[in-house]
Structure 1
Amino acid sequence: MAKLTVNLDAMIARDDFEVKIEDDSQSTGRDSGNFKLSELEQGQIVLNMLRKPEFQRETKDWTPERVAELIRSFVDGDLIPSVIVWHSQLSGDIFVVDGSHRLSALIAWTHDDYGDRQLSSTYFSAGLSKDELSAAKKTRELIAKTVGSYADLKSLGDRATPIQRRRANTFGMRQIEAQWIRGDASKAERSFFTINQSAVAIHPVELRIIKARKKPNAIAARGIIRSGTGHKYWSAFNADVQNEIEKLSKDIYGVLFEPFLETPIKTLELPVAGRGQSADGLSLVVEFINVANKLKTEMWLEDAQKKAGRKKSSDERDILPDDLDGAKTIEYLRSVKRIATRVSGNASRSLGLHPAVYFYSATGRYQPATFLAIVSLFQELELNDGFHAFTEVRYRLEEFLVKYRYFINQIVRNYGAGTRGLEPLVTMYKTVIQSIRDDASDEKIAVILQQNERLKFLKVMDDESIANSKEFTSSAKSAAFFHKALEEGAVRCEICNARIHMKGINIDHSVPLRDGGSGHSKNAQVTHPFCQSGYKERRSHAAASESS
């Protein structure tokens, strides 16, 4: 089961280091001293002044146990590392450069909000995942058992036990130590990167997004991973552009990450992109955006440009500029949505691929490389009007993928995760599709794959080898369910005979109404959206042309 982490991102608002406000009447001009816990309560000036740098990762890495332990340590007088802050002379705000998790945990305690109460629900428009809601509940329960709520400790009075009285006195008197950075916004930003790169705090993908935060693919990724809610990284654009970014992001998130992934897997109702609102989810979204829009790493990452030895005079046109008006971000989001709705969903163009067939291992582990490979394959099919030909062989393709599922694992193991295995996987899919058209047997197709230079390491496994494979011991419950459900429980399309996912179900007339078919349930058939609206229609027209 995935580790629960507490979403504290709403506790401290984000802002640009260099933002300037016209009305500084609320500014305290404070640039020294420590913080009292009471200054973090609702409506307090210091709380309203606290900010995180706009580019900082989300504050959601701590487990419920770690949040509860921090609060217990604070009220028991244990050592708590200082927070590092910077006071902006332009806005009057106090930016937290280091220690945002520590400070956010204490703010969460004073507000009884661990990702599921007023601050968070307003910030995220109630768009929290089941895991985040579970983490909030668990955190609140742990704190109730170990310390007690902030409100309770403040109001106990004569009813307090000696321990409670001591703790109440401690947090009433104790201050949160702060170290203040002196200098301008550029020094504060340099300090942020120095501090956070020396620790292992920032996920590599997060760091890339931070450094490229004004690029359209980075803005699009931030929008998608939070379903268009949370901090508006696109707030500099006009209102219509902001609304369009949020709408597209929400639509794409729904296609990719709903229903929510729960482990061990006990249902075939799985998301096509794995678990959202996570570092892995963000990594997949970034790669998806880049593949969908044909972006190379050196086009948008400065470090990659330097590594590639790019010369400005000849290659400047290939460098992705910052998005100043949101137009490019919207363009990228539309490209992503166009492909996403081809892969999944109930739009008429959707093939409704079954995630358990294409994107998950036999043990239920999500395989992002396969998703990116399908995206790449579908881009080719889109250009060549190849989806009808794909549908012709879809049944046998999927049966082969289920039968030789371990080939995917072998490719990923050989080439590594992410985009490194993308081309070999696409090669495998295209080879299998062509071999099926050539009427090759499954066994012959396996041999053909092994003859390919990129795939010569593939090994056919017998039933005993599969049963003894380590891949099948890590998540036996999911593996057992997957095998039984895919073989016996999956609904089949009555046009192409491939499996149907719950998000891609279409009810069609077996005999079209124009040909005398009735609206009775006996004339209904379950299909993929594209099989009914695209493939069947073209097949019917072709048959009519031949008969005339």
Structure 2
Amino acid sequence: MQTVVLDALIPREDFEIVSDIGNGGNTRNKTTLSIEDLKYDSFFFAALRKPIFQRETNEWDPKKICAMIESFVDGELIPAIILWRNQSGYIFVIDGAHRLSSLGAWINDDYGDGIVSLKYYENYVSEEQRKIAEKTRKLVNEKIGSFREIMEICRNVNISTDERKKKIAKNLGALALQLQWVEGNADKAEDSFLKINQLAIKISNAELELIQNRNYAYALAARAIVRAGKGYNYWSSFDEEIQKKIIGKSKEANILMFGQAQYTADDINNLPIGGAQISTFTLDVVTQTVKICNGITKLDTAKEASEKEVLKCIENTLKILQFINSKEKFSLGLHPFIYFYSDIGKHKIGSYYGILL
């Protein structure tokens, strides 16, 4: 299933450093969220953050995103967004990141390929990500209309003959999302996050593993490789030269696993060895790749996330990927279609892991 990458819309922040400060007695938190609050240049949206351990916001496909936006503009019941605010002013999303990001994508016209995403990923957005973003935009614009179009109708109702869009424009200013707030410090907020997020769309085993083991080198290495060194800088406390090496080698590993361009099953000479770059299994594939390449079979064999160990994990992973299929002189040059795909073009994850071993 192809899913939409909305991860850039709400950036990450580490709230462990403020674990002893929470303002549970604050009675001035707002209780609803309006359209204006979800514009990229609004005060509220500027303060909005995801916890550093939050899974990537890429679990929903175009139809689900469109359905979420439709539910909102039609005034249907949407579960409350759960937030936590620290005293430094950041507002963390405990539950509802996909809901907020879907609406934010519509309002800011960014489904993974817009200004916000390009800035977040430093213009490194894959063709696969651009293609699914445009597919989502087209679906939403056909069924609902772009946010810009609805706003233009709101200002001048006579420019459109579409009665549904006129109704949306008329009601949009009165619509709001309900908010609930977690009280307490960062430990309470993290506990709430883990409990809540395993009740609804359950956190995948791979994501849960990286959350729980985020202080281990292999977990940071997997985070780096899955986004080619872009996005949130989990290694910001490391030496600057080490950071540059992590980013560069993570990008190399990502390209070797997933390629650089959109591919089809017919294009057998350009199939990536790691399968699809954007899927619900991508994070697990990268995590297992890092663990296999570094001989990590159980947690007590994993190293703490020092800058030396994180870089070593990435370098070991890159070396084995290069050995399998790259332009390096020592590479075996294994053809992906022969070794990692079925005759109908489906990626065989077991064969891939077997070669790594």
Cα drift, residue 261 of structure 1: 6.4
Q: Spell out the pairing of 1:116-155 with structure 2 (5 A cutoff).
A: 116-155=113-152
**Alpha-carbon spacing, 1:29–1:10, altered in 2? closer, same or farther (3 Å):** farther
Partner amino acid, structure 2, of 1:158: V
TM-score w.r.t. length of structure 1: 0.60
In the alignment, the residues of structure 1 paired with residue 75 and residue 200 of structure 2 have an alpha-carbon distance, to the nearest angstrom, of 25
1:84–1:180: 8 Å Cα contact kept in structure 2? yes
1:31–1:86: 8 Å Cα contact kept in structure 2? no
In the alignment, the residues of structure 2 paired with residue 236 and residue 8 of structure 1 have an alpha-carbon distance, to the nearest angstrom, of 26
Q: Spell out the pairing of 1:474-489 with structure 2 (5 A cutoff).
A: none
In structure 2, the residue matched to 1:33 is 31
In structure 1, the residue matched to 2:188 is 187
Deviations 1:126-184 (A, max 9, x none): 33333321221111111211211112211221324543333123221111111111111
Which residue, 315, 333, 351 being the options, matches 1:352? 333
2:347 is aligned with 1:366: yes
TM-score w.r.t. length of structure 2: 0.91
In structure 1, the residue matched to 2:175 is 174
1:276–1:282: 8 Å Cα contact kept in structure 2? no
Moved over 4 A (4+): none
2:316 is aligned with 1:335: yes
CA RMSD of aligned residues (A): 2.0
In the alignment, the residues of structure 2 paired with residue 129 and residue 203 of structure 1 have an alpha-carbon distance, to the nearest angstrom, of 23
Partner amino acid, structure 1, of 2:328: A
More moved, 277-286 vs 325-334: 277-286
In structure 1, the residue matched to 2:55 is 57
2:303–2:309: 8 Å Cα contact kept in structure 1? no
**Alpha-carbon spacing, 1:30–1:251, altered in 2? closer, same or farther (3 Å):** farther
In structure 2, the residue matched to 1:111 is 108
1:291–1:375: 8 Å Cα contact kept in structure 2? yes
In the alignment, the residues of structure 1 paired with residue 294 and residue 69 of structure 2 have an alpha-carbon distance, to the nearest angstrom, of 45
In structure 1, the residue matched to 2:22 is none
Q: Who wins on radius of gyration, i.e. which is larger?
A: 1
Deviations 1:379-428 (A, max 9, x none): xxxxxxxxxxxxxxxxxxxxxxxxxxxxxxxxxxxxxxxxxxxxxxxxxx
In structure 1, the residue matched to 2:244 is 243
More moved, 121-130 vs 143-152: 121-130
In the alignment, the residues of structure 2 paired with residue 200 and residue 351 of structure 1 have an alpha-carbon distance, to the nearest angstrom, of 41
2:210 is aligned with 1:218: no
Which structure is higher in helix share? 1
Deviations 1:414-467 (A, max 9, x none): xxxxxxxxxxxxxxxxxxxxxxxxxxxxxxxxxxxxxxxxxxxxxxxxxxxxxx
Deviations 1:222-255 (A, max 9, x none): 1111111111122222322221111010011111
Query: Alignment partner of 2:12: what SS?
Result: strand
1:30–1:87: 8 Å Cα contact kept in structure 2? no
2:67 is aligned with 1:69: yes
Deviations 1:93-141 (A, max 9, x none): 1111101100011111111111111001111123333332122111111
Cα drift, residue 269 of structure 1: 2.2
The percentage of aligned residue pairs carrying the same residue is: 36
Deviations 1:464-496 (A, max 9, x none): xxxxxxxxxxxxxxxxxxxxxxxxxxxxxxxxx
In structure 1, the residue matched to 2:89 is 92
Higher relative contact order, chain-length normalized (CA < 8 Å, sep 6+) = 2
Cα drift, residue 351 of structure 1: 1.6
Aligned residue pairs: how many?
346
Partner amino acid, structure 2, of 1:361: S
Cα drift, residue 334 of structure 1: 0.9
Cα drift, residue 260 of structure 1: 4.7
In the alignment, the residues of structure 1 paired with residue 29 and residue 16 of structure 2 have an alpha-carbon distance, to the nearest angstrom, of 16
Query: Alignment partner of 1:177: what SS?
Result: strand
Q: Spell out the pairing of 1:402-441 with structure 2 (5 A cutoff).
A: none
Deviations 1:75-110 (A, max 9, x none): 111111111111112x21111110110001111111
Cα drift, residue 339 of structure 1: 1.3
**Alpha-carbon spacing, 1:30–1:7, altered in 2? closer, same or farther (3 Å):** farther
In structure 1, the residue matched to 2:21 is none
